[in-house]
């Protein structure tokens, strides 16, 4: 796994998880589509055209700044769909981040995607229970260790870096 890709991915997911916190939702409730500015309407249409569904999840509060929302979407799309990581690893990292930040929306949104990408259910179950999964492949172990370490300590040790 390339460290910069994993670090960027973790940072984006962490940002999205923070945006979806209860406080953020209480302070920035969804804007009714009928109340969108022209820029918000255009951004929401571009979002739906690219994703195949209306603005939801962490993008709801970001719609207050249409340009930021579309840039976040573009970065997320690049990291998820053009990553050097296997889709199962990418989805595993998303599940780890969802669990670390107690983000039920992200967990629900990505659990089935992780299963379809080939992540073993026992790995997801361990992550859900905040346990280190057992019997991980080397790449899964490296992804797990880097994700947990960077989210819990804000840094990556040399040993974890070298393994990844």
| pLDDT digits 0-9 by tens, 87-143 | 999 999 999 999 999 999 899 999 999 999 999 999 999 999 999 999 999 999 999
pLDDT band at residue 80 using 50, 70 and 90 as cut-offs: confident
Distances in Å between the Cα of 70 and the Cα atoms of 75, 90, 136 are: 9, 21, 35
Does the pLDDT of residue 10 top 70, yes or no? no
**Coil, strand or helix at 82:** coil
Please state the domain extents for the chain. 22-80, 85-163
Dihedral of alpha carbons 52, 54, 59, 62, sign? positive
- Stated pTM of the model: 0.74
φ and ψ of 124, to 5 deg: -60, -40
The most distant pair of C-alpha atoms in the chain lies apart, rounded to whole Å, by 53
Average pLDDT over residues 59-86: 93
Buried b (16+ CB within 10 A) or exposed e, 99-117: bbbebebbbeebbebbeee
Query: What pLDDT sits at residue 27?
Result: 81
Does the pLDDT of residue 149 top 50, yes or no? yes
> What's the whole-number average pLDDT of the chain?
88
Does the pLDDT of residue 159 top 70, yes or no? yes
* Segments of the chain assigned E as strands: none
| Rg of the chain (C-alpha set) | 16
């Amino acid at each position: 796994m390339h460290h910069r890709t994993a670090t960027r991915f973790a940072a984006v997911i962490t940002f999205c998880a923070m945006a979806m916190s209860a406080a953020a939702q209480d302070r920035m409730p969804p804007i009714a589509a009928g109340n969108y500015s022209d820029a918000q309407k255009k951004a929401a249409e571009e979002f739906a055209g690219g994703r195949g569904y209306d603005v939801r999840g962490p993008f709801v509060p970001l719609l207050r700044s249409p340009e930021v929302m579309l840039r976040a979407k573009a970065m997320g799309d690049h990291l998820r769909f053009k990553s050097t990581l296997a889709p199962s690893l990418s989805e595993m990292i998303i599940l780890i981040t969802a669990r670390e930040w107690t983000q039920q929306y992200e967990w629900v949104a990505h659990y089935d995607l992780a299963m379809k990408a080939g992540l073993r259910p026992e790995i997801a179950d361990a992550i859900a229970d905040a346990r280190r999964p057992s019997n991980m492949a080397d790449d899964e172990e490296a992804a797990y260790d880097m994700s947990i370490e960077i989210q819990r300590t804000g840094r990556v040790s040399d040993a974890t870096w070298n393994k990844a």
